[in-house]
Amino acid sequence: MRKIALFFIATFCFLHSVSAQAYESSIQFDKKKQSSIAIEYSYPQEAVENAVIRKMERLGYKVKEEKGFLNKDRGFLVFKNAYITDISKDRMDYIIKVDRKSRKASDESELNMIMMKNAENAMGRLSAFDIGKAKSFLNDLVPDIEAENLELQIKDQEETVAKAEKKLKGLQDEKLALDKKFTENLNSQDETIKDIDAQRQSLERLKEKRKKN
């Protein structure tokens, strides 16, 4: 039984590693079809984007995100003049786009990385060895993505807990208000009973006078 369990675990790990293998592709950027390195991850778009940004920040580079409603390059993450020794000995512009793979697959993403040097696509000038290193760079992002995905899950759970705590606080406040209203009601009943008793006594006195007359 233990051997079977280990087999399934090993199979899962193997399939997971196979699913995160980079390959050469292309994507539209700057009004051109650009050669790129692409990879698919079994993680949400936000987790992948956060992992890329954090990784580059640790290397000393801040992201510039293409924005603007009419900007066809909107959503691309641009890292200018970056020196990533794991890929190349030269400085290059790394332009990255992470897309949700499909509307249904919210936990699957596709990443495309364009490498530019002197405003030109550098893929044609890179050696097969450097292209292999670029692919490895993206393959090796999985632990970073897992960490960022965990942080997102923690954040979501914190929000869920906070929402539940807020609901409980509302219910507790409502109970206090109801308890106060209930107490006020009991006090009002006591006062009304006393008033009724007093009014009945007055009524009886008036009736007594009628008998005497």
Taking the chain, what is the end-to-end CA distance rounded to the nearest angstrom? 106
Q: What is the pLDDT of residues 175-185, one digit of tens each?
A: 999 999 999 99
Tens of pLDDT, residues 92-104: 999 999 999 877 7
The whole-angstrom separation of Cα 47 and Cα 26 is 22
CA 165 – CA 169 distance, rounded (Å): 6
Question: pTM of whole model > 0.85?
Answer: no
pLDDT digits (tens, 9 = 90+) for 117-158: 998 999 999 999 999 999 999 999 999 999 999 999 999 999
- Would you state the pLDDT for residue 2? 55
Radius of gyration for the chain, computed over Cα atoms and rounded to the nearest angstrom:
35
Nearest alpha carbon to residue 95 among 37, 46, 158, 40: 37
pLDDT of residue 4: 54
DSSP label at residue 37: E
Name the residue among 111, 110, 53 with its Cα closest to residue 82: 53
Tokens 């580079």: give the residue: 61
Q: With H, G, I as helix, E, B as strand and everything else as coil, classify residue 198.
A: helix
Task: Tell me if 27 sits within 8 A of 114, measured CB to CB.
Answer: yes
The reported pLDDT for the residue numbered 69 is 76
Mean pLDDT of 36-64: 95
Any idea what the Cα angle at residue 46 is, between residues 44 and 48, rounded to 5°?
75
* pLDDT band with cut points at 50, 70 and 90 for residue 6: very low
